[in-house]
Amino acid sequence: MEKNVECYSGVEYAEQPRRFLWQGEWRTVRLIAAEHRTVDGKQFEILDDTGEKFLLAYRSPADCWTIQPLG
């Protein structure tokens, strides 16, 4: 599986996303605007280094990340 999100993990996995792969380009997380826990894992609403907003979601059961642009 391709690793598309790099994150800080301390006590538990995926405590804070640091950078992510979007359309073949690594982008840096500049701001975490919101963080939510869901039944499947964690979600982070972030602002990246280009000024775009994304939803990064970690799905624990599948052990994978999804990336969705926010308009």
Bridge partners, residue 36, by sequence:
43
pLDDT tens for residues 6-56?
A: 999 999 888 999 999 999 999 999 999 999 999 999 999 999 999 999 999
Query: Domain locations in the chain?
Result: 5-70
End-to-end CA distance of the chain: 28
User: Which pTM was predicted?
Assistant: 0.92
Bridge partners, residue 17, by sequence:
7
Which two structure tokens, joined as six digits, stand for 34?
A: 């919101």
CA distance 71 to 63: 26
Bridge partners, residue 16, by sequence:
8
